[in-house]
Protein backbone atom coordinates (compact mmCIF):
# COMPACT_ATOMS: atom_id res chain seq x y z
CA UNK A 1 0.00 0.00 0.00
CA UNK A 2 1.56 3.23 -1.20
CA UNK A 3 1.03 6.38 0.75
CA UNK A 4 2.12 9.97 0.35
CA UNK A 5 1.56 12.72 2.83
CA UNK A 6 2.52 16.36 2.84
CA UNK A 7 3.12 18.98 5.50
CA UNK A 8 4.97 22.27 5.82
CA UNK A 9 7.73 23.32 8.17
CA UNK A 10 8.66 27.01 8.05
CA UNK A 11 7.71 27.39 4.39
CA UNK A 12 9.45 24.17 3.36
CA UNK A 13 7.11 21.53 1.90
CA UNK A 14 7.85 18.01 3.10
CA UNK A 15 6.40 15.12 1.12
CA UNK A 16 6.72 11.75 2.85
CA UNK A 17 6.47 8.47 0.98
CA UNK A 18 6.20 4.94 2.28
CA UNK A 19 6.28 1.49 0.76
CA UNK A 20 7.60 0.96 -2.76
CA UNK A 21 8.17 3.76 -5.24
CA UNK A 22 8.01 1.90 -8.54
CA UNK A 23 6.32 2.17 -11.94
CA UNK A 24 2.91 1.64 -10.32
CA UNK A 25 3.20 4.28 -7.62
CA UNK A 26 5.53 6.79 -9.33
CA UNK A 27 2.74 8.56 -11.30
CA UNK A 28 0.89 9.32 -8.04
CA UNK A 29 4.11 10.58 -6.45
CA UNK A 30 4.76 12.73 -9.53
CA UNK A 31 1.32 14.34 -9.11
CA UNK A 32 1.99 15.15 -5.45
CA UNK A 33 5.49 16.51 -6.20
CA UNK A 34 4.32 18.58 -9.19
CA UNK A 35 1.48 20.10 -7.20
CA UNK A 36 3.92 21.01 -4.41
CA UNK A 37 6.46 22.44 -6.90
CA UNK A 38 3.77 24.54 -8.61
CA UNK A 39 3.23 26.40 -5.33
CA UNK A 40 6.88 27.57 -5.50
CA UNK A 41 7.78 26.83 -1.87
CA UNK A 42 11.00 28.05 -0.27
CA UNK A 43 12.17 24.45 -0.36
CA UNK A 44 10.86 20.98 -1.10
CA UNK A 45 11.99 17.84 0.71
CA UNK A 46 10.99 14.33 -0.28
CA UNK A 47 11.28 12.03 2.72
CA UNK A 48 11.97 8.46 1.61
CA UNK A 49 12.81 7.12 5.10
CA UNK A 50 9.79 4.78 5.04
CA UNK A 51 10.39 3.60 1.46
CA UNK A 52 11.55 0.00 1.12
CA UNK A 53 12.02 -0.01 -2.67
CA UNK A 54 13.00 2.80 -5.03
CA UNK A 55 12.80 1.89 -8.72
CA UNK A 56 13.93 3.81 -11.77
CA UNK A 57 10.43 5.26 -12.22
CA UNK A 58 10.76 6.78 -8.75
CA UNK A 59 14.16 8.21 -9.61
CA UNK A 60 12.68 9.77 -12.75
CA UNK A 61 10.17 11.57 -10.50
CA UNK A 62 13.11 13.08 -8.59
CA UNK A 63 14.80 14.33 -11.75
CA UNK A 64 11.52 15.71 -13.16
CA UNK A 65 10.86 17.53 -9.88
CA UNK A 66 14.43 18.94 -9.84
CA UNK A 67 13.91 20.34 -13.37
CA UNK A 68 10.42 21.65 -12.56
CA UNK A 69 11.67 23.55 -9.51
CA UNK A 70 14.61 25.09 -11.34
CA UNK A 71 17.45 26.73 -9.48
CA UNK A 72 15.25 29.07 -7.42
CA UNK A 73 13.89 26.39 -5.08
CA UNK A 74 16.00 24.05 -2.97
CA UNK A 75 15.14 20.40 -3.35
CA UNK A 76 16.42 17.59 -1.17
CA UNK A 77 15.73 13.93 -0.59
CA UNK A 78 15.92 12.14 2.76
CA UNK A 79 17.26 8.70 1.98
CA UNK A 80 18.99 6.39 4.41
CA UNK A 81 19.82 2.78 3.80
CA UNK A 82 20.37 0.39 0.91
CA UNK A 83 16.82 0.63 -0.49
CA UNK A 84 17.04 4.37 -1.21
CA UNK A 85 20.38 6.11 -0.74
CA UNK A 86 22.39 3.38 -2.46
CA UNK A 87 20.49 3.40 -5.78
CA UNK A 88 20.47 7.22 -5.80
CA UNK A 89 24.24 7.26 -5.35
CA UNK A 90 24.88 4.48 -7.87
CA UNK A 91 22.71 6.17 -10.52
CA UNK A 92 24.52 9.48 -9.95
CA UNK A 93 21.44 11.36 -8.75
CA UNK A 94 23.30 12.38 -5.60
CA UNK A 95 25.29 14.72 -7.88
CA UNK A 96 22.10 16.63 -8.81
CA UNK A 97 19.95 16.36 -5.71
CA UNK A 98 20.90 17.07 -2.11
CA UNK A 99 20.72 13.94 0.03
CA UNK A 100 20.26 13.82 3.78
CA UNK A 101 20.16 10.82 6.07
CA UNK A 102 17.33 12.21 8.25
CA UNK A 103 14.50 14.70 7.96
CA UNK A 104 15.84 16.59 10.99
CA UNK A 105 19.21 17.05 9.25
CA UNK A 106 17.50 18.28 6.07
CA UNK A 107 15.22 20.72 7.90
CA UNK A 108 18.03 22.18 10.02
CA UNK A 109 20.18 22.61 6.89
CA UNK A 110 17.30 24.34 5.05
CA UNK A 111 16.68 26.60 8.07
CA UNK A 112 20.34 27.62 8.26
Which of the four pLDDT bands, split at 50, 70 and 90, describes residue 2?
Answer: low
- Mean of per-residue pLDDT scores for the chain: 94
Q: Has residue 112 got a pLDDT over 90? A: no
Predicted local confidence at residue 48, as pLDDT:
97
In the chain, domain spans: 3-111
Q: What is the mean pLDDT of residues 25-51?
A: 96
Question: Is the pLDDT score of 81 beyond 70?
Answer: yes
What is the chain written as a DSSP string?
--EEEEEEETTEEEEEEEEEESTTTHHHHHHHHHHHHHT--SEEEEEEEEEEEE-HHHHHHHHHHHHHHTTTSEEEEE--STTTHHHHHHTTGGGTSEEESSHHHHHHHHH-
| CATH placement of domain 3-111 | 3.30.750.24
**Of the given ranges (2-6, 30-34, 73-77), which has the lowest mean pLDDT?**
2-6
Amino acid sequence: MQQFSEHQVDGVVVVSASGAVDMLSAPALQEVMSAAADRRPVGLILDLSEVDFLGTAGMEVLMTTRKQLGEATRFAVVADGPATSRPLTIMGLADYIELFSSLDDALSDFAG
